[in-house]
Chains A and B, each alone.
Chain A
Amino acid sequence: MTATATDGDRAVRPATADTRSAARRVRGVVLWALALVVGGALIALAAGRPSPDEYLHPDGTGQTGARALVEVLRDQGVDVEVVETTAEALAAGANAPGTTVVVGNSSLLGETAARDLLRGSRDGDGVVLLDGAPQVLYALGLGLDALPATDDIGPAGCSVRWVRPDDELRRVSWTLVGADEDGASTGGLPPGATGCYEVASGSGDDAPPPGHAAVLVPGTADRAPVTVVGFPDAATNRFVTEADHAGLVVRLLGASPRLVWFHPNAEALAAGPDQGSEPVAPSFLVPATAVLALAVLAFALARGRRLGRLVPERLPVVVRGTETTESRAAMYRAASDRGRAAAVLRRASTTRLASRLGLPAHAPLPTVVAATAAATGLAPSEVDAVLRDSVPPDEAALVRLAQQLTRLEEKVSTP
């Protein structure tokens, strides 16, 4: 019954309900739009900022970032500039004396970008590859190759400016060995190169000869000296304080007053090969697009021209004949006027019963009750209870009353 009551409420105030729901709809739309804008802005901010865990990112504050190292360098008076493309690196003065270029995460360093960087920085103090992974070494053509390193790390064993003889090193990822043009191992370092920290790349009898954890390749006319490092983990926030890592990398990178930290991003990788002169799109793309647009325009013009104007027509008013009756029902229901409805139903039934039983149309109720009871065989009190005016206490009672009246009439017409 409560459900019907709510239904009733809805039927009563359609206009209010409409405006309310309209307001709610508008508010919903506004909230959704707001959420989209705010969410979009947050996503944009998050996308613009590197993940704190990005490997060897100079601003990375996570375990694998390199922020700690960069801060220390800055404290030491080194001017550190972070760039993301080769062009930026060159613009930042990679080619000027007194500037060292360091490539942190070289996994995104494209072949072309790497060659451009080496060629472009030939007048600088040097290039440091923090992560001497095999693919980048092969691309650079330094005559070096990298093999997975074991934990069998020897002493420094070299006389390079940034290495002290008793510096201890752990976390070596790659061991660097000499290689020819095809990438085959030659067993020794390229001529003139200096290797530090001998590291085995395997154990057993058939293991290749040990390589080095860091190799300094002297500069040529085409490029600056390159230092390839096989222990990139030593520069991360997590391991930089381990063993003598801090001293090693700070001395390595802090040699020049200016440091350009090249952290290649995905765009640099994608843009790399594009610097070639061959275009991807065919040359007829633009004129063909113009022809297509013109064809669409011609099609629109052809289909848009009407064959004669629209013909208007006056339409008749559509009013249902039952409209007043339905409105009256809605009014009864809105007012929940059960007394009125019951009285109307009873009077109609009484009139029909009277006429069916041959009584005058306005016969008094007791006469009708008596005649009905006689015709149906029901007890007069029972008939009287149905026909006598009383207000049904709820809608269920009203429905029962209406159905009782119908049954009573059916009994009289078909005894």
Chain B
Amino acid sequence: MALTTRTALLVLLGLVPVVLRPAGSTVWLWLAVVVVLVGLDLLLAASPGALSLTREGARQVRMGEAVTTGLVVENTGRRTARGLLRDGWPPSAGASPSRHPLAVPAGERRRVTTTLTPTRRGDRRADRVTVRLHGPLGLAGRQRSVEVPGTLRVLHPFPARKHLPSRLAVLRELDGRAAVRTRGQGTEFDSLRDYVEGDDVRSIDWRATARRRDLVVRTWQPEQHRRVVLVVDTGRTSAGRVGDAPRLDAAMDAALLLTALAGHARDRVQVLAGDRRVHARVTGADRAALLHDVISTLAPVDPHLVETDWGLLAGEVTRSTHRSLVVLLTPLEPAALEEGLLPVLPTLVAHHRVVVASVADPAVAAMRTARADSAQVWEAAAAERTTALRGAAADALGRLGVDVLDAGPDELPVRLADHYLALKRQGLL
């Protein structure tokens, strides 16, 4: 049950009888009148239990965009349901409006639409839906909360996707050249098809021709199915915020751009995200669905405040013995790298091409150059020290034969994509 402010006004109206008949009993009589009216209103209000609620609407949205989620309210009772409805969502789901007026005649259904503008990546679960139905006098209402399950997956905004068209153009150029250079050698069997004039007679499959009694040629295609493994570190060092988002988001941005690019280049992409355990694993079998799968799987992955177990992640990578391009997306934190990553790198480097991509903080670069007063100079010295330590860590990795990319959150996806294209151009995959 819930009262409305109209009840308070009704009580206030009791001033009139009290002035006309100033006695304590008048107050009690008026209170009794109010209580009776409220009780009557409650009795005459529609029952919230007679409403059946069904959720409909979008299941996922890219962060920064708005989406609507609907509730279909069906009144199975015999009275018109009038009142308020609140669709409870967590604050970061950005639900608006927070409460809806409701008027559903008996036996009819109405749709209530809430706009969600999420402010954070991840899964948002709808909380209870609360319905408060007022009586005909509007003095009191019956209230009930019910679970109407619903989940909205807020996807990574993937801002680096704007760089994809230009990189794909580079890739197509590369493919043409690579095809010219590698025709007739180092190729893989693709399929059989009927012979058409102009085909190379050397590619006729005589055995199949004998079975079909038609000329059949084998088709070949250049080696494309290179394996690319993207390892996203979700350990404690990825929780540090660069600008407004954690480093992990920038690393994911880079991973998504490379996934899209490598998918178009017909490479087999595998994405791993984990720290002490693997939180997400996507193996791209279907090229068309790959990017979507990766975005969707990475959406609920958040940084964890644990030290990354590189032995575990390296084990996941080396499960397949194929030579792969292994991209480790982890911040260059010297201490964490020395303890965790350096010991497992030699085995990885022995079998795979390893690239470490790290999100640098532009704020450190800014601290490095600002030298106006003594406080800034102390910070500049500290920033120089941080930069030097990162440089030393990068050097140590480089000596092991690892390519190190260290760039700010905006440049890193482009740098990584360009590095991939350069490797592909040189046939180093």
Task: Please give the residue numbers on chain A whose beta carbons come within 8 Å of chain B beta carbons, in ascending order.
Answer: 4, 7, 282-284, 286-288, 290-292, 294-296, 298-299, 301-303, 305, 307-309, 311-313, 316-326, 328-333, 340-342, 344-345, 347-348, 351, 395-396, 398-399, 402-403, 406
* A326 to B364 Cα, complex, angstroms: 9
Nearest-Cβ distance from residue B383 to partner chain A, whole angstroms? 5
Q: Is the interface of B mostly helix, strand, loop or mixed?
A: helix
* A318 to B120 Cα, complex, angstroms: 13
Given A311-B88, A313-B90, A328-B386, decide whether A294 and B378 contact each other with a Cβ distance below 8 A: no
Nearest-Cβ distance from residue A5 to partner chain B, whole angstroms? 10
List B residues 131-163 near A (Cβ within 8 Å): 132, 143, 145
B27 touching A308 by the CB < 8 A rule?
no
Which residues of chain B are within 8 angstroms of A348 by Cβ–Cβ distance? 368, 384, 387-388
A-B contact pairs, 27 of them (CB 8 A): A291-B12, A291-B15, A295-B8, A295-B14, A298-B10, A302-B4, A302-B7, A309-B145, A312-B90, A313-B90, A316-B239, A316-B302, A319-B239, A320-B363, A321-B363, A322-B361, A325-B364, A325-B379, A328-B385, A329-B378, A332-B378, A333-B378, A344-B388, A345-B384, A351-B388, A399-B373, A403-B371
Out of B18, B240, B371, which one reaches A399, CB within 8 Å?
Answer: B371
* A329 to B382 Cα, complex, angstroms: 5
B2 within 8 A of A: yes
B222 within 8 A of A: no
Nearest-Cβ distance from residue A296 to partner chain B, whole angstroms? 8
Which residues of chain B are within 8 angstroms of A328 by Cβ–Cβ distance? 382, 385-386
B247 within 8 A of A: yes
With both beta carbons as reference points, the residue of chain A lying nearest to B14 in the complex is identified as A291
* A403 to B381 Cα, complex, angstroms: 12
With both beta carbons as reference points, the residue of chain B lying nearest to A333 in the complex is identified as B378
Out of B26, B130, B386, which one reaches A287, CB within 8 Å?
Answer: B26
B283 within 8 A of A: no
List B residues 45-98 near A (Cβ within 8 Å): 84, 86, 88-92
A291 touching B3 by the CB < 8 A rule?
no
B246 within 8 A of A: yes
Nearest-Cβ distance from residue B93 to partner chain A, whole angstroms? 9
B379 touching A317 by the CB < 8 A rule?
no
B305 touching A325 by the CB < 8 A rule?
no
**A-B pairs, 3 with minimum CB distance:** A308-B130, A284-B22, A329-B382
With both beta carbons as reference points, the residue of chain A lying nearest to B18 in the complex is identified as A287
Which residues of chain A are within 8 angstroms of B143 by Cβ–Cβ distance? 305, 307
Which residues of chain A are within 8 angstroms of B130 by Cβ–Cβ distance? 307-309
Given A344-B388, A395-B374, decide whether A309 and B382 contact each other with a Cβ distance below 8 A: no
Given A286-B24, A292-B12, A399-B377, decide whether A311 and B91 contact each other with a Cβ distance below 8 A: yes
User: A283-B22, A286-B24, A298-B3 provided; 18 other pairs, C-beta below 8 A?
Assistant: A287-B24, A290-B24, A301-B7, A302-B2, A307-B86, A309-B88, A309-B127, A311-B89, A313-B91, A316-B302, A321-B242, A328-B385, A329-B381, A341-B381, A347-B384, A395-B377, A402-B371, A406-B371
Which residues of chain B are within 8 angstroms of A316 by Cβ–Cβ distance? 120, 239, 246, 302-303
Nearest-Cβ distance from residue A351 to partner chain B, whole angstroms? 8
Q: Could you say which of A313, A324, A329, A351 has the most chain B C-beta atoms within 10 Å of its C-beta?
A: A329
B378 touching A341 by the CB < 8 A rule?
yes
Out of B5, B9, B240, which one reaches A303, CB within 8 Å?
Answer: B5
B364 touching A295 by the CB < 8 A rule?
no
B23 within 8 A of A: yes
Given A299-B8, A307-B86, decide whether A294 and B386 contact each other with a Cβ distance below 8 A: no
Q: Is the interface of A mostly helix, strand, loop or mixed?
A: helix
Given A298-B7, A308-B86, decide whether A402 and B377 contact each other with a Cβ distance below 8 A: yes
* A348 to B385 Cα, complex, angstroms: 8
* A403 to B368 Cα, complex, angstroms: 12
B407 within 8 A of A: no
With both beta carbons as reference points, the residue of chain B lying nearest to A409 in the complex is identified as B369
Out of A287, A347, A351, A396, which one reaches B23, CB within 8 Å?
Answer: A287
B99 within 8 A of A: yes
Which residues of chain A are within 8 angstroms of B387 by Cβ–Cβ distance? 348
* A395 to B381 Cα, complex, angstroms: 13
B31 within 8 A of A: yes
Which residues of chain A are within 8 angstroms of B374 by Cβ–Cβ distance? 4, 395-396, 398-399
A301 touching B361 by the CB < 8 A rule?
no
B378 touching A319 by the CB < 8 A rule?
no
Which residues of chain A are within 8 angstroms of B30 by Cβ–Cβ distance? 291
* A309 to B23 Cα, complex, angstroms: 41
